[in-house]
A and B are shown apart, each in its own frame.
Chain A
Amino acid sequence: MSRRVHRRTLLRGAIAGGAVAVGLPWLEIMSPARRASAAPAAPKRIIFWFTANGSLPAIWTPPSDLSIESHPIHAPLAPHKDKLLFLDGVDQKIAYESIGDGHQTGMACLLTNAAILPGTLFCEGSCEAGMEQYVGWGGGVSVDQFIAGEIAKGVTTKFRSLELGVQVKSATVWSRLSYAGPDLPVPPREDPNQNFNDFFADLGTDPFALEVLRKKRKSVLDAIKDDYTSFNARLGKDDRVRLEQHLDAIRAVEMRLDATGQVGEACEVPTVELPGPDYQQNALYPVTGKAQMDLLTMALACDMTRVASLQWSTSVSNVRFDWLPLILGEGHHDLSHYDDAAGDAQADITTINRWYSEQFAYLLQRMREIPEGDSNLLDNSVVVWVNELGQGNSHTRSDIPFILAGGCQGYFDTGRVIDYGGEAHGRLLVSLTHAMDVPVDTFGVAEHSQGPLNGLAL
């Protein structure tokens, strides 16, 4: 028999984990006139930042005076502490009413405040009996997608929202944060190399070529829209719903062809250290994450979107932090399961949490460095750190380690620690809609989202 060598294996060998820096030649993307006309006030942005497996509540809660300079987890955030809000005692109450295991509910309810739909998608072995434990996808629109939809009613940005992932890899209820609606998970963009092209290739193309490209795309999309319309009419009900959704997605792509957005003053094709084709390899987790942060920052600076998320791995993440001085050195999820008394494991979890704080601080710093008129990108935004669990080893979905960063143009009263003593996290989601000027009274399950959290806003 023949043994075929897989093409990708060869590619991997050639690049061998090396990082490749790519920068497109900077052609003038906007005429001076357009730059000058980009004067209107910078928009508000919201960014969700997900890390997994809970934290260590006993250590996590910072002192009330925010003296975190030598805090075992938060010290890297000290330079930004006046921009931060630490929320204590905010619980995912809905997660305790939903079907599904701790990680599933923690993940699927996190931005939806809705119970998971029943289903048989994720059981191992056969999916029989004991139906109550079998789950489908999340049961409602997530707050990021809701806000993006509301914003899209008034303004068309290049991307309606941007979901970025760092080694998410799988597509299950454990690994999806965003939902376009019940049963409609939104996949993140995981490949920084591809993202670089998707975000910035247009900026690097000369205007004439870009115009021809738009024209071609419009002709093709017009033709295939006709194709879908006549095809869909022949389908049965359920298939037609599915294909209508596909047609809607094509229309959304078409709409974005015309969207150049208001390009911010700091917008330029960034120089990004890209991870190459091995971006899914465990060892490249930090490089891939940093590339995604750099890409995200510039996408926001260029006003390509107002709503974004950066999802580090998935719930139940078992990333191995081999680049950190860990004692046990097992995967993150394995470490998170040790008993409170297991000192080595708790030390490792603390080190991992601190590493994520460093990454968070990096993003905040990058955002601060983007000037927007008299302000900066961070002050015009709110970055929301979310986690599917409170405490990792017992899978609590209470006391989620929420941190808000950035004032969202003065909406939030930052530089504080607030203990909510067991408020529902749905109220936080409501607060976020208010901060983004698309206020709702409740979000998801009304019982667990009665108005915004008190004391968050100025």
Chain B
Amino acid sequence: MSSKITAALFGLLAAGPIAAAQVAVKAETIHTVSGPVIKDGVVVVTDGKIAAVGPAAEVSIPAGHEVLEAKVLVPGFVDVRATVGLTGIYNGDDQAHDQDMLERSAPIQPGLRAIDAYNPREELLEYIRSFGVTTIHTGHAPGPLVSGQTMIAKTRTTTLADAVMKPFFGVAATLSPKAQSGAGAPGTRGKTYAMLREALIGAEAYKAKLESYDGEGAPPARDLAKEALVAVLNGEAPLIVTANQAQDIASALRLQEEFSVKVWLDMAAEVYTLMDEVKAAGSPVLIHPTTYRAYSETKNLSFTTAAKLAEAGVPFAIQTGYEAYVPKVRVLVFEAAIAAAHGLGFERTLESITLSPAKLLGIADRVGSIEVGKDGDLALFNGDPFEYTTHCTGVVIEGEVASRAVR
């Protein structure tokens, strides 16, 4: 009994604001991403922030800092699109109670907030963190036409308030046959697109009502779903559109033109067929996990698409996304590795899971590279992080050693 109470108290303590530990990491190679590679270097993290970076000969480690060692040190990874935290480790089973990423009760539900479903103690978070992921853009999964909102969080096991960086980031929509399932769902592509236009036109009318309200009489009744779409119309939140086949990608771009919203392309298996159009539209691509199953609407995905996006100069980042039955695509560095080996190369691949997603998500002032003043988010490896047979040997989040597992 008493041990239970102690455990509960400890849990409460651990869940409170983290007293940032003081940590320094000595590494044979430091990939800062934003600057040159440093050999035999040191990174000092003080009070949660990076206080110093440089060659060991030039950077002294202040007293009271725990010293970790690594062969290769990289910034903590940023997963540009996941569902972890809403999706739990059990997955897709009748008995599971940790599957909050798909709400099929209606086709269009932009009012669903990600923070109301995010479990910062989810075991799956601990697992992906042990492979170097320190920041995730997560939320409602692709599937329903408009499935809900997304958020950005650190992968720490802590309270929601402490983990969250942005409680509302974007609205997730799906333009694919996957949207043709669930109550009230469209039955064809034409209907799918028509319903999405209707929703946005409805939100435009709501926005006009809000803007024309002059304070006289009752204000327009609140509409949580339309409020989220107004944020999209105002350009405050991107509309993250899952589209894989060429015609669906083209539809997503058409949406951007009609409503002047920020359309982000999610998955985009056949994006290589429309590279010029995507580049002209300025839409970033959250490219599918490299090892996603090549069947049905993703049948034509390619291991080389990330490299082609890089060549074309289209802003992109690699994601883990969402795979349902027996999901494999949960470890970001594994997905990146296949892209690295198929034309993207080491440097660009590393950037695509660190600084590029941080810039896209508007959090590059805090994460994505090893620079003085940024959060102390680091991933330690005992060799090339992309090699099959090397290990992630430690993870630091805001100065706290968040994983000591050898993965």
A and B from one complex: no
A interface vs B, CB < 8 Å?
none
